A and B are shown apart, each in its own frame.
Chain A
């Protein structure tokens, strides 16, 4: 029997949305590969979240709950989860393709000699084995991947799998596991968090993004105002990042982040191929650009040919009105 595991990431005391997405998809996978859907929680004060995982289909949740595990440490988490995997031998391990998830997965792959596919956007099963599809060249092409190993690990891109309706009556067996992190060589000595709970680009449901057409860093305030109204993250093109207007971690594109939000609104972005690669898997794209010939309009569902400096404040006001209705 090949069980499907979801390693859930916890943020500010809540399960990350991608964990719910993976549980929803994992339930389907578990029935396809003939196993059970089980969850893993590692952290501090996380045990209570097992019942949340149960609502989305986990029949058993392994919990390592310890104050020392409050902060993600790749070595510690991999030691704890790796040991559990060796004991329980699940067939499929799903991990959210977050910054920490992408750090954890290869550590487990090496420890377990298990195949790993990163940032997958489609999950399926064939003959009891996992099959996945993942973007390569930042989404200019897709690779279908098969695994040769019994333990199959995938990091799953946020926002691509829908969250199923929770079953409030469901419960899961909670199995406490050792929180012994073993030998850890690399230690966190400092943390610098930016103010005001910024939404991570790769996990944002809506992204408002600005390019060269923004003309300078001061004008991004306009996009931040819009983003505040609609609960969006603010991204930028490579041109804007290279000009020093925005931080590197805001860059969308082949040398930045590949994103798949529900809605991507591009302001003053012409649409260089390496930018399009990073955002064209967005579900809906709105582009605002003065130049009617800009390549971004080729991928946009709605194209607004106008001056962004006029459009952005009107759009912010209109969304305010709409959301107040």
Chain B
């Protein structure tokens, strides 16, 4: 079973985000980057399926050279080879243009299943997996917490409001990973050493056979006009003392002063 995993490099969730004044980007200096946490679940699931059924795990990302570090993490976990969509034309893409490029890259591979995180924790769009599936004309099950793979189909359990549902879909299909799907392994030292020698191919726009206006900022359906910081919250009231005295007071104030209850 050949599996493609779509991954993205994102700033560490501990990062304090600042907007770069006069731009639509954040301050990039001093940021440490990680493999998107939800993509880690996708990589882990791909590896578990490969261990059970054989086949190959191919990781695909899109981004500048630094994003290879996230790809190497996936390779160190055990993925077999990787592709990176490389070139200035790909930059500034919204979810739609990202998915268009990834879908085209996927068409050049042999695959039975595509896995990716349900969202990247930078732009939080929750779109790319579903868009890729739609563009490839294959089904997608979103926010999956349990996956069973059979011959020619999968059973995927996904989170819904107030519970879960199980969906059966024919392969090939796209599965987006939600937290809870598995516990991702840490790359081992030998894994890290091996990853350095694994194939990581840069793929250009020309290789994909796409036009420059189909990808990146030019191929996007939306654009960011401004980035802003959240409003600072004003310092609040602090209550100290005996809970038996202060809690009744606070509860009354929630109604009478804050008017939130």
Q: Do A and B come from one complex?
A: yes
Q: Mark A287-325, 1 if CB is under 8 A from B, else 0.
A: 000001000011111111111001100110011001100
A21 at the interface (CB under 8 A from B): no
Which residue of the partner chain, among A109, A254, A292, A307, contacts B243 with CB atoms under 8 Å? A307
A145 to B220 alpha-carbon distance, docked (Å): 12
* Contact call A302/B126, Cβ cutoff below 8 A: no
With A109-B127, A258-B124 as known contacts, state yes or no: A99 contacts B258, CB within 8 Å.
no
Asked if B51 is at the interface (CB within 8 A of a chain A CB), the reply is no
Cβ of A45: which chain B residues have Cβ within 8 Å of it? none
Mark B106-130 against chain A: 1 for CB-CB distance below 8 A, else 0: 0000000000000001111111001
Tell me if A187 and B261 are in contact (CB < 8 A). no
Q: Given A106-B130, A115-B222, A190-B166, are A255 and B237 also a contact pair (CB < 8 Å)? A: no
Q: Say if the beta carbon of A88 comes within 8 Å of chain B.
A: no
When chains A and B are docked, how far (Å) is the Cα of A324 from the Cα of B98?
A: 54
Contacts of B130 in A (CB 8 A): 74, 103, 106-107, 110
Binds A, one of B67-75, B153-161, B185-193, B196-204: B153-161
Are A114 and B221 neighbours in the complex by a CB distance under 8 Å?
yes
Which residues of chain B have C-beta atoms less than 8 A from A322's C-beta? 251-252, 255, 261
Inter-chain CB contacts under 8 Å: number: 263
* Chain B residues, Cβ within 8 Å of A305: 238-240
| Cross-interface CB contact of B126 among A115, A118, A140, A191, cutoff 8 Å | A118
Complex CA–CA separation, A140 to B231 (angstroms)? 10
Verify A292–B240 contact, CB threshold 8 A: yes
| In the complex with contacts A102-B126, A284-B260, A186-B140 CB distance below 8 A | yes
Q: For the complex, would chain B's binding face be called helix, strand, loop or mixed by DSSP majority? A: mixed
A285 CA to B258 CA, complexed, in Å: 10
Query: In this assembly, does B16 line the interface, its C-beta being within 8 Å of a C-beta of chain A?
Result: yes
Chain A residue with minimal CB distance to B256?
A322
Q: Do B143 and A99 touch (CB < 8 A)?
A: yes
- A98 to B142, alpha carbons, bound, how many Å? 13
Q: Are B179's CB and A140's CB within 8 A? A: no
Known: A148-B220, A263-B260, A280-B230. A135 touches B250 (CB 8 A): no
CB of B223 within 8 A of CB of A146, answer yes
Given the interface contacts A148-B222, A190-B166, does A302 sit within 8 Å of B230 by beta carbon? no
- Tell me whether A110 and B16 are in contact (CB under 8 A): no
Chain A: CB-nearest residue to B122: A137
B139 within 8 A of A: yes
Range of interface residues on A (Cβ < 8 Å): 35 or more
- Give A185 to B228 CA distance when docked, in angstroms: 41
Q: Mark A103-142, 1 if CB is under 8 A from B, else 0.
A: 1011101110111111100000000000101011111111
Is A248 touching B167 in the complex (CB atoms < 8 A)? no
Using an 8 Å CB-CB cutoff, how does the interface string of B163-184 with A read, 1 for contact, 0 for none?
Answer: 1111111100100001110000
Bound together, the chains give a CA A145 to CA B123 distance in angstroms of 12
Give CA–CA (A319, B243) in the complex, Å: 14
Range of interface residues on B (Cβ < 8 Å): 35 or more
Q: Is the CB of B238 within 8 A of A255?
A: no
Alpha-carbon distance between A103 and B24 when the two chains are bound, in angstroms: 27
Given contacts A141-B229, A145-B224, contact A301 B238 (CB under 8 A): no
Say whether B55 faces chain A, with CB atoms less than 8 Å apart: no
Chain B contacts for A221, CB-based, 8 A: none
Residue of B nearest to A11 (CB): B161
A189 touches B250 (CB 8 A): no
Cβ-defined contact, A303 with B237, below 8 A: yes
Q: Flag if B123 contacts A136 (CB, 8 Å).
A: yes
A144 to B19, CA, bound (A): 13
Q: Chain B residue with minimal CB distance to A111? A: B134
Q: Is B46 an interface position by the 8 A CB rule?
A: no
For the complex formed, measure the closest distance between the CB of A295 and the CB atoms of chain B, giving whole angstroms.
Answer: 12
Contact of A148 with B221 in the complex, beta carbons under 8 Å: yes
* Contact indicator B163/A192 (Cβ below 8 Å): yes
Q: Which of these, B237, B243, B250, contacts A310 with CB under 8 Å? A: B243
Which of B126, B142, B179, B250 is A304 in contact with, Cβ under 8 Å? B250
Q: List 21 A-B contacts (CB under 8 A).
A: A106-B95, A106-B127, A106-B130, A109-B95, A114-B221, A115-B94, A118-B126, A137-B15, A143-B123, A186-B139, A188-B166, A189-B166, A189-B167, A191-B160, A191-B163, A194-B163, A247-B180, A249-B159, A273-B16, A303-B237, A314-B248
A residues sitting closer than 8 Å to B (CB atoms) are 11, 71-72, 74-75, 98-100, 102-103, 105-107, 109-111, 113-119, 131, 133, 135-149, 185-194, 197-198, 200, 206, 230, 241, 247-249, 251, 254-256, 258, 262-263, 272-274, 280-281, 283-286, 292, 297-307, 310-311, 314-315, 318-319, 322-323
B residues lining the A interface (CB < 8 Å): 11, 13-17, 19, 24, 26, 37-38, 94-96, 99, 121-127, 130-131, 134-135, 138-143, 145, 155, 159-170, 173, 178-180, 220-230, 233, 235-241, 243-244, 246-248, 250-255, 258, 260-261
Known: A133-B228, A305-B239, A307-B243. 8 other contacts (CB 8 A): A141-B26, A141-B229, A143-B24, A143-B226, A146-B225, A274-B13, A302-B254, A314-B244
